[in-house]
Chains A and B, each alone.
Chain A
Amino acid sequence: MTFVQKTHLHYQLLALTGEVDLHNSPQVRKQLLAIVESGNSVIVDFSSLSYIDSSGIATLVETYNLAKNKQLSLTIVGARGAPLQVLELTNLNKVFPMKDSLDEIKA
């Protein structure tokens, strides 16, 4: 798993590549919480993500909740395949704002 952080409009974009699992989700958690703690809304780009386990999903839930408390947002972009199915299994696709592509996010 690797991730790249970029600025997109007034969001911080975190693009995840590969597989998020028990071993590397703490890194993702640290990064996501840091972004929100510093007062930025976050977009998580799933388009190159092939797998996310429930520790990754739990990390997203925690970040989403923190962002909400700070009147910020967490948006998921480009989820498909297995990661999308995991979101659907846990019904979180009905909770997180989900976008197909970055173009759908406007300033």
Chain B
Amino acid sequence: MTSSNKSIIDVNNLVTHYGERKILKNLNFSVEKGEIRVIMGGSGSGKSTLLNHMLALLTPTSGSIVIDGVDVVNANRKTLLKLRQKMGVAFQGGALFSSMTVGENIKLPLQHHTELDEHTIDIMTRLKLELMNLAGFEDLMPSELSGGMLKRAGLARAVIMDPKLLFFDEPSAGLDPVTAVELDELILKLRDAMNMTIIVVTHELESAFKIADKITVLFDGEIVITGTVDEIKSSKDIRIQNMINRRARDEHLDAEQYIKRLTTGKN
């Protein structure tokens, strides 16, 4: 096993299924402390499934995922709860609770897990809102925010407990380019100032190249390569090259089958 003192995440021989279908095919990788790791892949590559397994929201068929020394697949409830207080997760659409204000959403973890004074909690909440450029939005309801704001509010909630480990699902999906760049810079600042390990799941190449220390590329449930930005750029693998040059998958066209599909709708 590749476990070392420096790694905070170790994924070993991970195999998962959705129903009968095999989604992840024997994944192995580890993430070092303080690293920004980008997990890249197109839709259907299995990157969201991998994220859900790392968050222990799904149970794999076989293999292990060790996060900060805890085997999340076999951990009991208590151990997992403890680990989760050290982890922050920013979901794609923010996943804020619609019945609470933005401020109430962000302070929720503090109110549940700490004995801090209400004043301290309020100031912490506003500090995070300032950091995300959301000052003054504390008392609005989530339904009054735009998509980009929801994403940032979700990020504020994810880092409210100053986690060691932050997972970020699709930070730039659906954002305008300026906001996307701002979020990338924020991710870099968070790592530098708070010494967080950050796992970003994305399909955006540009953002990945900008923030990643290392990139793990998934294709059809398998890791094509894990490497630095330069290593990815200089990879000879045709799938990586196609991804960088934005070329569609070059598939051999069987004329007869194609016509059959078009005329009968069957393969």
Contacts and interface: CB of A to CB of B under 8 A. Distances in A.
A62 B161 contact: no
Interface of A: 21-22, 25-26, 29, 53-55, 57-59, 61-62, 82, 85-86, 88-91
20 contacts: A21-B162, A22-B116, A22-B162, A25-B116, A25-B120, A29-B117, A53-B162, A54-B124, A54-B127, A55-B120, A58-B120, A58-B123, A61-B123, A61-B127, A62-B120, A85-B192, A85-B193, A86-B194, A89-B193, A90-B130
B189 interface: yes
Contacts of A89: 131, 189-190, 193-194
A57 B127 contact: yes
B130 A59 contact: no
Nearest to A30: B117
B114 A22 contact: yes
B161 A82 contact: no
Contact of A55 (B124, B189, B193, B195): B124
B230 interface: no
Nearest to A90: B127
B191 to A, nearest CB: 10
Given A58-B123, A89-B194, 13 more contacts: A22-B114, A26-B115, A53-B162, A54-B124, A54-B162, A55-B116, A58-B127, A59-B120, A62-B119, A62-B123, A82-B193, A88-B193, A90-B131
A47 B192 CA distance: 20
B214 interface: no
